[in-house]
Amino acid sequence: MIKNYAGQIYLTLAASIWGGMYVVSKVVLAVISPIELVWLRYFVALLTLSILGLITRQSWQIRKKDLPLIIAIGIIGYSISIWMQFLGTQLSSAQMGAVITSATPAFMAIFARILLGEQITFKKALSVCLATTGVLMIVGIGDLGDSSRLGGGILAIAALTWALMSVLIKRVPNDYSQLVITTYAILVATVVITPFAVTEITTSDLQVLTQPKVWGGVLYIGTVSTAGAFFLWNKGLQIVTATSAGLYFFFQPVVGTLLGWLFLGEQVGLTFWIGALLILSGVLLVIKEEA
């Protein structure tokens, strides 16, 4: 029974882990810059995945014709999208970030139609609408008018590129291990980001990394939120259609808000529970259609 829903479980776990990363990154970003955190998380993730690959004796060979696809995944998703998400939020607000990036599933449906020929059924469209409404209720839309337009534009790029990357993963041949694909894509992103990160790191106080809460947070973000969650997301995309997979992205704001309430004392009202119910309804609707 569980095996029948493996893809859905992988995607739910990945999005939930990203939602939980909000609590940890809030502590770490108080003392180091976003680009430093991105580079450190990729360095730790790369080390973690490489060790796991060696232990499980993965085949690291990639056919030449598939290299451009893997490089594109690393640049579009892990480099551009992640950095645009940090930069856009910095120029606007976390609230706007949550609202605009919630458009990712809709973009995924469009790219899946264009690149994979997937059909956008009425139920899938309804599911995206329900879940998007749920996200808007959770994060609220009252203060969006005061946010920077530039930040909003950058966040839209982040949502667009993550959606494109997720659909490109569906084009990776199934005979490759997703652990290997994830490792190579993160390697590409690390190489791309390193020149920008070096400038920040050389001017920073590296002593802050010796603080237990900082290095502990970096290790968690690198191993669990990056190596683990990226692998789970890619593995889930191998099984579930791209259009449906996007819906599981909505678990991110639900888990993030819930953990913020539990550990950071942030307020959660009735709209959160209504929004969470709408998101769950959207996900269940698409699960029922594919059952």
Per-residue tens of pLDDT for the chain, all 291 residues: 555 688 989 999 998 898 888 778 777 877 888 888 889 999 999 999 999 999 999 999 999 999 999 999 999 999 999 888 777 766 765 556 666 777 788 888 889 989 999 888 888 888 888 888 887 777 665 555 555 667 778 888 888 999 999 999 999 998 999 999 999 999 999 999 999 888 777 666 667 777 888 889 899 999 999 999 999 999 999 888 888 888 888 788 788 778 777 776 767 778 878 888 888 888 887 776 665
Q: What is the pLDDT of residue 244?
A: 85
pTM of the model: 0.84
Q: What is the pLDDT of residue 92?
A: 66
Q: What is the pLDDT of residue 97?
A: 63
Q: Which residues contact 98 (CB under 8 A, 6 or more apart)?
A: 135, 138, 139, 253
